[in-house]
Structure 1
Amino acid sequence: MILELADIRIQPGQQAAFDEAIVRGVTTVISRAQGFRGWKVNKGIESPERYILQIFWDTLEDHTVHFRGGPLFPQWRAIVGPFFAQPPVVEHFELVGKSD
């Protein structure tokens, strides 16, 4: 399983609207993608315009090829993109260990 971690910065004062938009975008769009296995999103306390979105994929290609290159990606960006203060920083991770 692959973890996609997106560090998102939004425009000031848009937190309430973005909270709704990001949840709606994941649950109505990304959740339909091939290889999607789950998600979680957190927002900053010290930096209230900062969000960390974690999405779990079966493979790296499920995100980078099938989702980003397919028809769902523009739908996702139409929902959340207008809030971005800058392009999100996205990286991928493999699990090394975890607690029970």
Structure 2
Amino acid sequence: MILELADIRIHPGQNAAFDEAITRGLNTVIVHTKGCQGFKVNKGIESPERYILQIFWDTLEDHTVGFRESDAFAQWRAIVGPFFAVPPVVEHFDLVTKSA
């Protein structure tokens, strides 16, 4: 399983609208994408305009090719993109270990 980690910064004062938009985008677009195993979203306490989005994919290609090169990506960005203060920083990770 691959972890996609997106560090998202939104425009100040847009938290309530972004919370709704990211939840809607994840539940209407992302979860229906091949290889998506689930997601988590966390909002910064000290920096409330900062969000950490974690999406779990079966393979790297499910995200980088299957999703990013599909119409679903355009749908996703239409929902959440207007809130971005800067482009998100996105990286991928392999699992090393986890709790039982």
TM-score range, shorter chain: over 0.9
Structure 2 match to 1:18: 18
Instruction: Quote the residue 2:56 is aligned against.
Output: 56
Q: How many residues align?
A: 100
User: Which stretches of structure 1, 4 residues or longer, exceed 3 Å deviation after superposition?
Assistant: none
* Matched residue, 1:34: 34
1:90 corresponding residue in structure 2: 90
Q: Does 2:49 correspond to 1:43?
A: no
Aligned equivalents of 2:31, 2:39: Cα separation in 1: 9
Residue type at the aligned position of 2:23: V
2: distance between equivalents of 1:25 and 1:68? 14
Segments of 5+ residues of structure 2 without an aligned counterpart are none
| Structure 1: gaps of 5 or more residues | none
Deviations 1:9-44 (A, max 9, x none): 000000000001001000000111010000000000
Give a deviation string over 1:38-86, Cα, whole Å, max 9, x none: 0000000000000000000000000000100011000000000000000
Q: Which amino acid aligns with 1:24?
A: R
Q: Distance in 2 between matches of 1:97 and 1:72?
A: 31
Compute the RMSD of aligned alpha carbons: 0.4
Counterpart AA for 1:38: G
Matched residues in 2 for 1:30 and 1:38: separation? 9
Alpha-carbon distance in 1 for matches of 2:81, 2:20: 13
Match of 2:99 in 1: 99
